[in-house]
Structure 1
Amino acid sequence: MSQAKDQEMSMPSSRQESDRTAAPSNTKSLTLNSTRSGVGTGNFGGYGMTNGAEKPSVLHMIMEALGLRNQAQNREPTSKDIGTLIMLGVMFLLFVISVTGFFVMWFTEYYNNTMLENLILAENSDTAKSWLNPDPKYDTLLKAHIFDYPNIDDYLAGRADKIKVVDIGPLTYQEHTVKDEVSFNKNFTVSFRDRKSYKFLPEKSSIGEDYVVRVPNVPLISAAGPVKRMKPLERLFVSPWIKQFQEPLFKELTVSEYLWGYEDKIIKLKSLGRGRRRFGLLMSRNGTSVDSVQLNTGEDDITKFSIITQFNGMPQLDYWEGDECNRIDGSEPSMFSPHLLQDRSTVNVFLQVLCRKVPLHFEKESSLQKSSEPVLLSEHGTVLAQRSDQRHQVLRGCAHFSLVPALLHWRSGAVQRL
């Protein structure tokens, strides 16, 4: 009985021993599973690294991605590997630069061609529309200076030794120009007339238009020259007609009358009752011009863009004595061919107000801002500051350029400029 009890008591001990023996087996199984899952060994990202090992460098990863490093081999890159990698990097950089340069050149050429196509004066194009009727914000300013002779009567009467000449300007006007009687021709030219209008700007003027001045009687002085050159019999007939008007050498006129027109007896006599009876220094500029202009549209050759080909139907002028002075092959003042500004070449501009082609030379680059002067080109005195014998070439029939002859040959020191 006692032996059986002892045996029964020992049986649980055998099961406990069996449990203790099986425990390591379960632990081993968990360890193997952990090894397969890559958790227990610290297998990091599939690089076969154990816990505590260094992470792969960027160079290792690049070389492995390019196939320059065997994943099974855990070695440092050699100088040959580094040289190969540098060579590939340089080749890639050159490829990127080449592709970028190609696209930059292509887009630049495309941009330039597009800009040039927009510059030509093709009929119904945006450029033509803006040229025919420009935005008023691009209008030019006309500043007129009038010289007043306040003591001319005293001087002529011998009560004054010197003439006082007073500059009362500027009188500022906003000049708006549109193209009139426009005709696009088949030979890539366009014909037109300028139509100008003026708006007085009192805030930018020193005086008002109703200011009264003493100014020379220009029609009377202008008529004196032709009468003097007449034959004696003709002069004997014309002189009494002029004298009967009793026109003074100087007249009192408002600024508006002197610039934009007043009715004059001499002009009325010249027109014999027909045509215009008024005279004003700027009267011919207000309204549609009497001159017709033909210029190149640039459709066939952008270098010919804006070059004037005919003036009043003629390929050159006959106002001046020299052939060079009679040339008209300059640009219309409102626009130039773009290659002239890019090359900083001399820009020849035909100015109707002077009946002359004027060369403009590059002076400096600037921007259209209030803080900077927007002058890019200037006339270097080759035309407007010539010798006296060159300046006094005969002007025959130029409607815009009227040189008022000297009123009197005053003795030396007779004029006092204030």
Structure 2
Amino acid sequence: MPVSQNKIAIALGILGAAITIFGAVLVFVGPDTINQQIVKNVQIDPKNKMTFTMWKDIPVPFFFSIYIFDVKNPDEILRGEKPVVNQRGPYVYREYRQKDNITFHDNGTVSYQEYRHFHFWRNMSVGSEDDILTVPNMLVLGASIMMENIPYVMKLAISAGFKMFKEEAFVTRKVGELIWGYEDPLVDFINSYFPDMIPFKGKFGLFATFNNSNTGLFTVFTGVDDISRVHMVDSWNGLKTVNYWRSKQCNMINGTSGQMWPPFMTPSTTLRFYSPDACRSMELVYQESGSFQGIPTFRYVAPKTLFANGTDYPPNEGFCPCRQSGIQNVSACRFNSPVFISHPHFYNGDPTLAQAVDGLHPNEKDHALFIDVHPVTGIPMNCSIKLQLNLFIKAVRGFIETGKISPVVLPVLWFGEIGYIDGQVLSTFRTNMVVLPAILEYLQYIFIALGCLFIIIAAILVIRNKDKNPLFCRSYKKCTVVNEIKLFETEKSTMATANGTVLQEVDFVETCPGGEAPQDV
């Protein structure tokens, strides 16, 4: 029996040592193995068909929600009174994105154009595309400021043209027409006789050129040569920098295209991306750690300085001429029209902006933008990008249509672009990027603990066998130690008999095998 237990102890010891070593190896090798797999999955590489297909045809559902500010008192505004607006919507569109014209280059970059398609989703909208709303007429109010400094006589002539084509300061039309365009006789006339005078061709609308369009030719790094640069923009429309702004810093094209970022992020990482719609690079900052559907995330938000003016935040001086903090002048990339972008309802802006218009209620819950990113892969799990389009309006001498309008930045609409991972894509991502790495991390410590347990059990068996062995030899032939003489008990009893008392002692001892008497130690 002792021989059998010794074999078991040796086997357990060897097995325990092997398992412990394997667990220790996993501690050092496991994270590198996971990281290598992550790097492989986030690279833009057609050899990895699954991830390349997901990059090319984004499976994440995007919803484009538009809120329009219905002007309630256009006549009073023309008399110089404070504007009153009523937010209408959302008018929700399912957005589909697909990359096309994909070309890989020898320098580790890939070029593509991403096309956007929009389809109205009535069940998610509050209202229909047939709703009738009133908004500022950008043709009249925008053009009047753009041509404020031309000769007075010319302004009168243009004003007469507005009157002839029945163009007024405010226009009332269906939502679908305001967003996607409508036939305007003035636009048709100008395009017929002065084809290069205005940028609008065909229908005129706030997003007339948005549907079935692309965001320009992006060239980004694939990450095959350097994973830290994956998705980073190398050029946009062939440009390394833009020339809209007044400083080198403001004209820089920084970060990614705004869809993914390099992996292995930390809270000190900022999200930089170039936005063609805003004509500039933007930077979001870490706010907090959280989770989305069981997946750990970092939440990034816009800093208060994003749309600050040059006085409050000197690095933004290049985006000027500026007005109050909270709005950015984008006239330089919008054909010099007096257009400004901001957060919805002028959230995070100078309070005077919202106070100048009745009907605005800025708050963080409804109007702050955010992106929830999985920090290990740099892939967004949930995002809500929100921007507001505003028009600076005022009375311009010579343009009768502008009346006595008091100078004001009037909100026209704001939109939210919302996207999140769900369905099978979410399940696959959670399994591969959260569950399996967690199992591997726990397994390495389970192996170490189990190996140590086997070693301890083996040691206990050895000790127990040593205690039960009948002799230990001082030399090869002679017995040196025998099991301690087991003195069970010396019975002393007095037996009363009829003839007297008998005292008996019984000693029980063991002898060495082979008949030798045990030696004293």
Q: Quote the residue 1:103 is aligned against.
A: 26
Distance change (3 Å), C-alpha of 1:99 and 1:406: same
AA matched with 2:284: L
3-state SS of the aligned residue for 1:376? Answer: strand
Distance change (3 Å), C-alpha of 1:289 and 1:131: same
3-state SS of the aligned residue for 2:129? Answer: coil
Q: Which structure 2 residues correspond to residues 69-108 of structure 1 after superposition, within 5 A?
A: 96-108=19-31
Q: Quote the residue 1:22 is aligned against.
A: none
> Which deviates the most, 198-207 or 372-381?
372-381
Q: Distance in 1 between matches of 2:23 and 2:156?
A: 86
2:256 aligned with 1:331: yes
3-state SS of the aligned residue for 1:112? Answer: helix
> Which deviates the most, 350-359 or 238-247?
238-247
3-state SS of the aligned residue for 2:333? Answer: coil
Name the one with the larger helix percent: 1
3-state SS of the aligned residue for 1:331? Answer: coil
Structure 1 position 397, deviation (Å): 3.0
3-state SS of the aligned residue for 2:146? Answer: helix
3-state SS of the aligned residue for 1:357? Answer: strand
> Which deviates the most, 313-322 or 380-389?
380-389
Q: Distance in 2 between matches of 1:169 and 1:225?
A: 29
Structure 1 position 359, deviation (Å): 1.3
Structure 1 position 153, deviation (Å): 2.8
The one-character-per-residue Cα deviations of 1:340-388 (angstroms, maximum 9, x if unpaired) are: x35651121222221221112222233333x999772111223134445
Structure 1 position 190, deviation (Å): 1.4
Q: Quote the residue 1:153 is aligned against.
A: 75
2:55 aligned with 1:131: yes
Distance change (3 Å), C-alpha of 1:93 and 1:272: same
3-state SS of the aligned residue for 1:172? Answer: strand
Q: Quote the residue 1:185 is aligned against.
A: 105
Q: Quote the residue 2:143 is aligned against.
A: 223
Q: Distance in 2 between matches of 1:111 and 1:400?
A: 51
RMSD between superposed Cα atoms in Å: 3.6
Identity %: 23
Structure 1 position 191, deviation (Å): 1.4
Q: Quote the residue 2:394 is aligned against.
A: 408
Q: Distance in 2 between matches of 1:399 and 1:96?
A: 70
3-state SS of the aligned residue for 1:267? Answer: helix
Q: Quote the residue 1:346 is aligned against.
A: 270
2:123 aligned with 1:203: yes
Q: Quote the residue 2:414 is aligned against.
A: none
Structure 1 position 269, deviation (Å): 4.2
AA matched with 2:273: V
2:284 aligned with 1:360: yes
Distance change (3 Å), C-alpha of 1:354 and 1:163: closer
Q: Distance in 1 between matches of 2:407 and 2:104?
A: 56
Structure 1 position 178, deviation (Å): 1.0
AA matched with 1:115: I
The one-character-per-residue Cα deviations of 1:166-194 (angstroms, maximum 9, x if unpaired) are: 11122222211111222222221111222
2:177 aligned with 1:257: yes
The one-character-per-residue Cα deviations of 1:164-221 (angstroms, maximum 9, x if unpaired) are: 3111122222211111222222221111222111122222222111000011101222
Tell me which of 272, 288, 313 is aligned to 2:238. 313
Name the one with the larger strand percent: 2
CA contact (8 A) 1:320 1:394 kept: no
Distance change (3 Å), C-alpha of 1:368 and 1:239: same
Structure 1 position 243, deviation (Å): 4.2
Q: Distance in 2 between matches of 1:149 and 1:175?
A: 28
Q: Distance in 1 between matches of 2:8 and 2:218?
A: 72
Q: Quote the residue 2:450 is aligned against.
A: none
Q: Distance in 2 between matches of 1:399 and 1:236?
A: 22
Structure 1 position 392, deviation (Å): 5.0
CA contact (8 A) 1:284 1:400 kept: no
AA matched with 2:279: C
3-state SS of the aligned residue for 1:363? Answer: strand
Distance change (3 Å), C-alpha of 1:236 and 1:147: closer
> Which deviates the most, 385-394 or 256-265?
385-394
Distance change (3 Å), C-alpha of 1:372 and 1:182: closer
2:130 aligned with 1:144: no
AA matched with 2:332: R
2:90 aligned with 1:166: no
Q: Distance in 2 between matches of 1:411 and 1:399?
A: 23
CA contact (8 A) 2:394 2:407 kept: no
Q: Quote the residue 1:112 is aligned against.
A: 35
Structure 1 position 314, deviation (Å): 0.8
Distance change (3 Å), C-alpha of 1:169 and 1:372: farther
2:333 aligned with 1:397: yes
Q: Quote the residue 2:222 is aligned against.
A: 297
Q: Quote the residue 1:85 is aligned against.
A: none
- Count of aligned pairs: 331
5+ residue gaps in structure 1?
1-46, 48-55, 68-87
CA contact (8 A) 2:271 2:285 kept: yes
Q: Distance in 1 between matches of 2:336 and 2:32?
A: 43
Q: Distance in 2 between matches of 1:236 and 1:151?
A: 26
5+ residue gaps in structure 2?
313-321, 341-389, 396-404, 411-521
Q: Distance in 2 between matches of 1:237 and 1:156?
A: 20
Q: Which structure 2 residues correspond to residues 260-279 of structure 1 after superposition, within 5 A?
A: 260-272=180-192, 274=195, 276-279=201-204
Q: Quote the residue 2:114 is aligned against.
A: 194
Q: Distance in 1 between matches of 2:169 and 2:62?
A: 34
Structure 1 position 163, deviation (Å): 3.9
